[in-house]
Structure 1
Amino acid sequence: MLQNEKQQQRKLTLFAITWPIFIEIMLHMIMGNADTLMLSQYSDDAVAAVGVSNQLLAVIIVMFGFIATGTSILVAQYLGANEGEKANRFAVVSLFANVIFGLLLSIILFCYSEFLLKMMNLPPELMDNGVTYLQIVGGFSFIQALIMTAGAIIRSHGFTKDAMYVTIGMNILNIIGNYIFIFGAFGFPELGVTGVAVVTAVSRGLGVIVLLVLLYKRVNGNLSFSFLRKFPKYEIKSLLKIGIPSAGEHLAYNTSQVVIVFFIASIGTEALTTKVYTQNIMMFILLFSVAIGQGTQILIGHQVGANKLDDAYKRCIRSLKIAVAVSTGMAIIFYLLSDIIFSIFTTNEEIIRVGSLLLLLTIILEPGRAFNLVVINSLRAAGDVRFPVYMGILSMWGIAVTVSYILGIYFGLGLIGIWIAFILDEWLRGLFMLWRWRGRKWQQMSFVRKVEQKDHA
C-alpha cells in the first residue's frame, strides 16, 4: 500500500495533474456557454434571466465549498504524509455533510426563488424565466454539492482524468438535451428556459452517479460509513476549520458580485445582457489560471504534507509565472477577435461595441486575477486560510463594490467603470497575496504538522 502511494506521488507533476483539470473546467464553461449560446437564439431576455439566476447559484456553490475545499486540502496533506486511512475518513464525512447541507439549501432555493430574484433587482419581464430556472436547477443543487465533494477527493488522490471524463459525458448530454428542448427538435415540445433547466439537472444527476462509482473504485472500496453512527465531531470541526475561511474568500467574491449585478440591473437589460456575454467569454481566458491554480494546490498540499516546504515555495512561484504569461496572451487574442466572438451571441451593435471595450480592459485585468487564482490556492493548500479571507473582504467590498458604484453608477461610466473597479480589486489582492507567500508564514500552518506536534507533545 505504501509503495503504491509513493508511486502515485511520483506521478504528480503540474502538467499531468493540470491538463485534465483544464479540460474539465473548459467543458464546464462550454456547458454554461452552450446554455447561453442556444438561449441567445431563443431570446436575449432569457439569457439575462438565466444569467442573474446563475449569479445566485454561484453563491450557493460557494456554500458547498465550505466542506469541499477543506476536504481537498486535508486529503492531499494526509496523502502526502502517507496517512491514507485518515484521508479516507475525511472523505466519507465530507460526502455525508455536504449532501445534508445541499438538501437544505435546495429547499430554500425552491421555496424562495422569486423573493431572491426580486432582491437581485431582476426586471419584471424576466421574472417568470428566472423563477423557473432557479426552482429547477436550484432545487436539485444538492447534486452539485456531491459532484464538488467527490470531485475534490478524486483530484486530491491525483486522478484528475476521472472528473474530466465525467464532465465530458455531462456536456454531451447537456448540449443534446438543450438542442432538443430549446428548439423542439425531433417532435419534442419547445420548452425554452424550462428545457435548459431540466437538462442541466438531469445531466448533473447522471454525472454524480458515475463520479461516486469512480471514487469508490479509486480508493479500493475503503470508504466505510459505519463510524458515522457516532457524530464525527473531530472530522467536522477539522473540515470547517479549514473550509469556512477558505470558502469565505469565495463567498466574499460572489456576494460582492451579486451587489454589482444589482448595480448593472439598474442600468438596464442591455447592460445586464452585455455583462453576461462578456463574462462568459472571459471564462475561457481565466480557465488557464484556474486550472494551474487547482493543480498547484494539489501538488503543494502533497508537498506540505511530506514536509517539502522549499519545493512547495518554488512550485507556487513557477506556477504563477506560467499563469500570468498564458492569461495575458489569451486576453490579447480574445480582444483581437472580440467582434467575431460577440457576433456569435448577438446582432446588437451596442452590446458588441461595449463588450469589445470590456475585453480590451480584460488584458489588464487577467494577469492580476492570475495572482489570486494561483497564490491563494497555494496559501490555502499550505493551511494559511485566514489571510486571503481578510484581504478578500477588504478589497472586494472596499474596492470592487465601492468603486463600481462610484465610477459605474455615480459618474455614469456604466460597465466600463465597473470593469476598472474589477482591475483595481484583482491587482491589489494579488500583490498582497504574493507578499504573504514570500513571507513564508504559511510554513507553520500545515494541519497535518499541527496534529503531529500535538500528538508528540
Structure 2
Amino acid sequence: MKKLSLFAISWPIFIELSLHMLMGNADTFMLSQYSDDAVAAVGVSNQILSVMIVMFGFIATGTSVLIAQFLGAKQEKEASHIAVVSIISNLIIGLIIGIVLLFFSQSLLQLIGVSPSILSEATIYLQIVGLSLLAQSGIMTIGATLRSYRFTKDVMYVTIGMNILNVIGNYLFIFGPFGIPVLGVQGVALSTALSRTIGIIVMLLVLYKRVNGKLPFSNVFKRFPAFELKKILKIGIPSAGEHLSFNGSQLVITSFIVLLGTEALTTRVYAQNIGMFVLLFSIAIGQGTQIIIGHQIGAKQLEEAYKRCITSLQIAIGLAAFVGFVIFLCSEPILRIFTDNTDIVKTGGLLLLLTVLVEPGRAFNAVVINSLRAAGDVNFPVLIGIISMWGVSVPIAYLLGIHLGYGLIGIWIAFIIDEWLRGILMLWRWRQGKWREMAFVHNQKSHVS
C-alpha cells in the first residue's frame, strides 16, 4: 500500500472545507449589503440546519471510518458494501428531514425565540434550504466515500463548482442585474438549493467514474443490509451524539444571544464566520488523520497510528494559534467588509481576540476525537462532550453572558473553557491507549467476517 501522506490527503480537504465556509461567508457578505436583519435571519436558520445535518452526518462519519479500515485490511468487497448502504440510507434520511423542515420551520424558529422582525425571512430560508438537504445528504456521503478511497481532489473540484454557482446565484438574486427581481434572503436560499442540486448530480457522475465498478448498488435491494447498517451505526450514532450535543448546546446558547438583541446575533454571525477559517486547518488535519489512522488500524499498524495522532495534533495547534493571531491583527478591516456598524466592529474584534484562545483548544478535539473514532473508541468523546457542553459551556455562557451581563464576551469565555477541558481529556484518553484494544477487536471481527 502506498504510504499515506497527511499533506497529500489534507490539503484538498482543507480547500473543500474552505470553499464550504466561503459559500456561507458569500451569503453573509452579500446579504450584509442588503440588510443586517437579513444576516441575522440566515444566521439563526443555519444554526437549526446545523443540528439537522447531524442527523445524516453520522452515516457519513461511520462510512468514512469503516471504508478506510476495510481498505487498510485489503477487504475491498466489505468496503464497497458499506459505501452503497450508506449512500442510499442517507438519501432517505435527507428526504425525511427536508419534509419536516418544510412544514415546521416557523415553529422551530419561534421555539428558540426568534424576533418577529426576522421571523418571516428566516422561515423562508429554512424551508427552501431544508428541502435541499436531500442533495446535501448525498453530497456528504458520496464525499466521505470518495475521500476514504483517497479521491480527495475530486470532492474538492465539485465543491469549487458549487461555490461558483452559489456566488453567481447570490449576485443575481440580491443585486438584481438585467432586470432580475431582487429576492434577498429568499434568493440566497434558492441559490444554495440550486448549487447543491447540481452538486449531487456531478458527485454521482464522479462516483460512477471512480468506483462504481466496485459498488454493488443492485445488492442492497436483494436483502435488508442489517450487517452493514449495524457496523455503520456502531460508529456513527455515538459520533452523531457528540455532534448533536454540540449543535444542540449551540442552539441553546443562540437563544441566549437572541436575548441580547439582533445586533448581538449579527455580531456573533460575523465573528463566527471569520473565526471558522482558523478552525478549518484543524478540521482538515483531523479528517486527514482519521483516514490515515483508519487505514493503519486496518493494517494493524498501531504504533504508527499513535505517532500519527500526536504529530498531527502538534501541527494543528501551531497552525490554529498562528492563523488565529493573524486574523485578530486584521480583524477591523475584515469586519468592515461586512458592516459599517461601529459597535459590531468593536465587539467582533474582541471576539476574534478570544478566538486566538478558543481555536488551539478546538484543535485538540478536531484531531484527537477523529483519531479515537478511527480506532473505534467512539463512546468516550460523546460522554465527555455531553458533560462538558451541557455542564460547562451552556451554564457558564448564561452565567457570564446573561446573568453577569458580559454579553458575547462572557459567552466566548465559556467556549474557551469548554474546548480546552474536552481537548485535554481527549489527549489523556489517546495516551492511555484504550483504543488499542478496540482496534484489536475490530481486526479480529473483520477477519472473521
Q: Is TM-score (shorter-chain normalized) higher than 0.5?
A: yes
Q: 2:118 aligns with which of 111, 121, 126?
A: 126
Aligned to 2:67: 75
Distance 1:62 1:102 in 2: 11
Q: Does the 8 Å CA contact 1:182/1:191 hold for their aligned counterparts?
A: yes
Q: Does the 8 Å CA contact 2:376/2:442 hold for their aligned counterparts?
A: no
1:377 corresponds to 2:337: no
Give the TM-score, by structure 2 length: 0.98
Matched ranges for 1:28-427 at <5 A: 28-228=20-220, 229-427=222-420
Alignment-mate amino acid for residue 179 of structure 2 = G
Shift of residue 450, structure 1, vs aligned partner: 3.9
Q: Does the 8 Å CA contact 1:102/1:141 hold for their aligned counterparts?
A: yes
Distance 1:278 1:451 in 2: 46
Shift of residue 363, structure 1, vs aligned partner: 1.1
Structure 1 runs of 4+ with >4 Å offset: none
Distance 1:435 1:170 in 2: 40
Change in 2 beyond 3 A, CA 1:439/1:25: same
Distance 1:404 1:104 in 2: 33
Distance 1:443 1:198 in 2: 47
Q: Does the 8 Å CA contact 2:309/2:371 hold for their aligned counterparts?
A: yes
Q: Does the 8 Å CA contact 1:216/1:222 hold for their aligned counterparts?
A: no
Aligned to 1:449: 443
User: What do residues 200-259 of structure 1 show as CA deviations (whole Å, max 9, x unaligned)?
Assistant: 001011111111111122215222222222111111111111100011111110000000
Q: Does the 8 Å CA contact 2:293/2:305 hold for their aligned counterparts?
A: yes
Alignment-mate amino acid for residue 443 of structure 2 = R
Shift of residue 398, structure 1, vs aligned partner: 0.5
Q: Where in structure 1 are there 5+ consecutive unaligned residues?
A: 1-5
- Which stretch has the larger CA shift, 388-397 or 180-189? 180-189
Q: Does the 8 Å CA contact 2:132/2:196 hold for their aligned counterparts?
A: no
Matched residue SS, 2:362: helix
Distance 1:267 1:391 in 2: 29
Aligned to 1:3: none
Q: Does the 8 Å CA contact 1:338/1:359 hold for their aligned counterparts?
A: yes
Distance 1:452 1:131 in 2: 47
Alignment-mate amino acid for residue 243 of structure 1 = G
Shift of residue 66, structure 1, vs aligned partner: 1.8
Distance 2:87 2:167 in 1: 28
Distance 1:110 1:216 in 2: 31
- Seq. identity, %: 62
Shift of residue 140, structure 1, vs aligned partner: 1.9
Alignment-mate amino acid for residue 449 of structure 1 = N
Shift of residue 304, structure 1, vs aligned partner: 0.5
Give the TM-score, by structure 1 length: 0.96
Distance 1:86 1:341 in 2: 48
Distance 1:172 1:453 in 2: 45
Matched residue SS, 2:171: helix
Q: Does the 8 Å CA contact 1:52/1:120 hold for their aligned counterparts?
A: no
Alignment-mate amino acid for residue 213 of structure 2 = G
Distance 1:164 1:55 in 2: 24
Alpha-carbon RMSD = 1.0
Q: Does the 8 Å CA contact 1:77/1:448 hold for their aligned counterparts?
A: no
Query: How many correspondences in the alignment?
Result: 447
Shift of residue 185, structure 1, vs aligned partner: 1.2
Alignment-mate amino acid for residue 110 of structure 2 = K
Q: Does the 8 Å CA contact 1:78/1:448 hold for their aligned counterparts?
A: no
Alignment-mate amino acid for residue 325 of structure 1 = G
Alignment-mate amino acid for residue 97 of structure 2 = L
Distance 1:449 1:224 in 2: 24
User: What do residues 19-45 of structure 1 show as CA deviations (whole Å, max 9, x unaligned)?
Assistant: 100100001111100000000000100
Alignment-mate amino acid for residue 329 of structure 1 = F
